[in-house]
Amino acid sequence: MGKSEYSVTNTAPQTKPQPSLDSLVNLVDADMKRVNQVIIDNMHSEVALIPQLASHLVAAGGKRMRPMLTLASARLCGYGDGPDAVDLAACVEFIHTATLLHDDVVDESQLRRGQASANALFGNEASVLVGDFLFARAFVVMVKTGSLRVLDILAQASAVIAEGEVLQLATANDMGTSEEAYLEVISAKTAALFGAASQIGAVIAKRSAEEEEALRLYGIYLGTAFQLIDDVLDYSAHQATLGKTVGDDFRDGKVTLPVIISFAKGDDDEKAFWRRCMEDQNFEDGDLDRAQTLIRKHDALTASMDRARDYGQMAIDTLTRFDDGPIKDSMIEAVEFCISRPY
Amino acid sequence: MGKSEYSVTNTAPQTKPQPSLDSLVNLVDADMKRVNQVIIDNMHSEVALIPQLASHLVAAGGKRMRPMLTLASARLCGYGDGPDAVDLAACVEFIHTATLLHDDVVDESQLRRGQASANALFGNEASVLVGDFLFARAFVVMVKTGSLRVLDILAQASAVIAEGEVLQLATANDMGTSEEAYLEVISAKTAALFGAASQIGAVIAKRSAEEEEALRLYGIYLGTAFQLIDDVLDYSAHQATLGKTVGDDFRDGKVTLPVIISFAKGDDDEKAFWRRCMEDQNFEDGDLDRAQTLIRKHDALTASMDRARDYGQMAIDTLTRFDDGPIKDSMIEAVEFCISRPY
């Protein structure tokens, strides 16, 4: 049975066009060009290795979801053409890039898989230090906007992200990880920055505390749905489409929702299989195939995606208090895209 | 020839008592207890590994030079009993601790030397992430003080520290490193935080730009002297007194001033020796002894210490504009201690 049968894209309803990020991308396109310029200006350093390594990441691209959330939220809240939305969107991307660099600091065994991650190309130390540099520069740029409230929100979010990453270390290789603990990890490591990115759009537009909170929750729920799907894709995606290796979480022993569900529904033999792979990290040929078979047997990807859809709907519901229009529409479609995305 | 003959303590004049940090420590003792409490409160997390790892470092102690500089500078500038000096001293220590954690992220070969550094005990990933957590928390606490100027100074300093650490990576294993490049590294990686720590004491006391700058320079010069001596101690200290391994810089291929001077004065045979050790990292038994012999032959430790004394005198000179009294005296003695310290 081929991997295509796991593909998330196939499960989307065929009656309406596949949701995409295009309308959001188009709406914030001009601002995102300014964000890129702020990013380039602020990753400059006399120390050549810093812009070299940083531009390796910037060139690698990515969806740029987080800075787009800041720009879209600011616009939804009626923020005008001031520089703060663009500068803060760049700060959010810097914080995200710094966490990516620090995530990539892995041990030798993981390096041997031959990923061309920044640490593989430049070494662990450089990845750590350039991450620190980008993180510090994010705060330098934030200070320029002069908003202590924004600084507080992004500093708090940065601390929560680090907590989430440490919690993920603590739950890795532990088949006793509960669904609740898993949700706590992704809420901290991923959703917190989505939430802060959205919230600060309302802050700079000087909107009410209720609107700030609504946009914070929009980001939190969207980020949770985003990470749930990310974890589904690790077992379901076409490797070429995903742009990273399928099965990374499995080999790293990350206990994600598809695994938690399959383990809970599995018999003793299946439980022993999961423990051998996830806890003992003792792998045999064909283990990833077997993991995928068990996950399908227990409908664990479907269950994870249902959970993602619930969070997606909650994200969309937070937007009811805001005026209808193309920005709100694009933020709703962004949620639908995150749930149905094949990459 | 025993190592004691290289000991820095032996070179101090015997006619006056050895300078110590005691008067500074005593003057800020009550405030430092409050700093410790702020540190403990803010390294708290529901994620147990974070306070565990952080307290491993806090318990390890250290001289706490940087937070004491903030407290002393604030007091020298007439800052009263407000909470900001204590809170910011804790921030400075958090930033320093985060950089220590990230410095400790080393490769396997260095781990094998069996140091009980945080990364050896808890792993590279945890060290990186807890460093990130402390760094983010530092900014959370800074925001509470409400001073954008302080946030700017410490964010800029944090970026400069990261630049200095990357520059150090770039100059490591390169015997072409000039004295100028070496001074640039230590100015960024060490002196920048000493400078910021001192400067913010003047900022919260609302003193003039000239006084701010004088205290910034006090910290910069003191930090430069401090690091020059640190690099001397790596070749001269008693291992038990230093509390870390003598020869670490040598084995890591860090091109510090004693090496630069010895290399410049060395003949072809000596230059080949330094290149084999520092650049090729190809070590033979007795290499550290030979390095120490060459360094002594060319009076390279004396020359480095003379340089440190110059910077120390410049630090002391910046204080002339401030009122005489026990605080100023203790800040002068702190400089003298840093230059003559055996650890």
| Domain assignment of residue A4, yes or no | no
Q: Residue A179 is which amino acid? A: E
Q: Give the number of other Cβ atoms within 10 Å of residue B110's Cβ.
A: 17
Q: B156 contacts in A (CB within 8 Å)? A: 136, 140
| Element spanning A316, H or E | helix A300-317
| Domain assignment of residue A267, yes or no | yes
Q: What is the pLDDT of residues B121-150, one digit of tens each?
A: 677 888 899 999 999 999 999 999 999 999
Is any Cβ of chain B less than 8 angstroms from the Cβ of A109?
no
| Domain assignment of residue B9, yes or no | no
DSSP state of B320: G
Flag whether pLDDT at B113 surpasses 50: no
| Domain assignment of residue B8, yes or no | no
Residue A28: both structure tokens together: 């914030």
Give the separation between CA B31 and CA B45, rounded to whole angstroms: 24
Whose tokens are 């979801």? That residue is: A65
Say if CB A35 and CB A67 are below 8 A apart: yes
Give the separation between CA B304 and CA A7, rounded to whole angstroms: 65
| Domain assignment of residue A1, yes or no | no
Q: Is the dihedral of CA B270, B276, B278, B283 positive or negative?
A: negative
Is any Cβ of chain B less than 8 angstroms from the Cβ of A215?
no
Say if CB A8 and CB A236 are below 8 A apart: yes
Q: What is the mean pLDDT of residues A19-42?
A: 94
Of B98, B132, B170, Cβ closest to residue A47? B170
Is any Cβ of chain B less than 8 angstroms from the Cβ of A170?
yes
**What's the pLDDT score for residue A118?**
67
C-beta atoms of B136 and A155 within 8 A:
yes
**What's the pLDDT score for residue B125?**
86
C-beta atoms of A166 and B130 within 8 A:
yes
Give the separation between CA B311 and CA B246, rounded to whole angstroms: 24
C-beta atoms of B146 and A146 within 8 A:
no
Q: What is the pLDDT of residues A54-76, one digit of tens each?
A: 888 777 667 899 999 999 999 99
Residue A136 belongs to a domain with what CATH number? 1.10.600.10
Residue A223, Cα to own-chain centre: how many angstroms?
6
Residue B261: both structure tokens together: 């001077």
Q: B146 contacts in A (CB within 8 Å)? A: 148
- Number of structural domains (chain A) is 1
Could you give phi then psi for residue B198, rounded to 5 degrees? -75, -45
Give the separation between CA B159 and CA B155, rounded to whole angstroms: 6
Residue B315: both structure tokens together: 């630090």
Burial of A30 (0-12, 13-18, 19+ CB in 10 A): exposed
Q: What is the pLDDT of residues B220-235, one digit of tens each?
A: 999 999 999 999 999 9
C-beta atoms of A170 and B45 within 8 A:
no
Q: What is the mean pLDDT of residues B17-44?
A: 93
| Helix segments in A116-208, DSSP class H | 118-122, 124-145, 148-171, 179-186, 192-204
Is any Cβ of chain A less than 8 angstroms from the Cβ of B183?
no
Residue A141: both structure tokens together: 């740029």
Is any Cβ of chain A less than 8 angstroms from the Cβ of B45?
yes
Q: What is the mean pLDDT of residues B268-294?
A: 96
From the list B192, B197, B125, B128, the residue with the least C-alpha distance to B159 is: B192
Q: Give the number of other Cβ atoms within 10 Å of residue A287's Cβ.
A: 16
Whose tokens are 């792979």? That residue is: A277
| Domain assignment of residue B7, yes or no | no
Q: Residue B190 is which amino acid? A: T
| Domain assignment of residue B4, yes or no | no
A244 falls in which pLDDT band (50, 70, 90)?
A: low
Is any Cβ of chain B less than 8 angstroms from the Cβ of A48?
yes
Contacts of B149 (CB under 8 A, 6+ apart): B203
**What's the pLDDT score for residue B105?**
77
More confident residue, A331 or B101: A331
Q: B45 contacts in A (CB within 8 Å)? A: 163, 166
Radius of gyration for the alpha carbons in chain A, expressed in angstroms and rounded? 20
- pLDDT cut 90: percent of chain A above it: 75
Flag whether pLDDT at B343 surpasses 50: yes
**What's the pLDDT score for residue A63?**
85
Q: What is the pLDDT of residues A189-222, one digit of tens each?
A: 999 999 999 999 999 999 999 999 999 999 999 9
From the list B337, B291, B295, the residue with the least C-alpha distance to B316 is: B337
| Domain assignment of residue A239, yes or no | yes
Contacts of B140 (CB under 8 A, 6+ apart): A152, A155, A156, A159, B42
More confident residue, A307 or B82: A307
C-beta atoms of B169 and A125 within 8 A:
yes
Give the separation between CA A182 and CA A258, rounded to whole angstroms: 11
Instruction: Tell me which residue range forms the domain holding A325.
Output: 19-340
- Considering only residues 72 to 101 of chain B, which have any Cβ-Cβ distance to chain A shorter than 8 Å? 98-99
ipTM value for the complex: 0.91
Q: What is the mean pLDDT of residues A80-89?
A: 94
Is any Cβ of chain B less than 8 angstroms from the Cβ of A174?
no
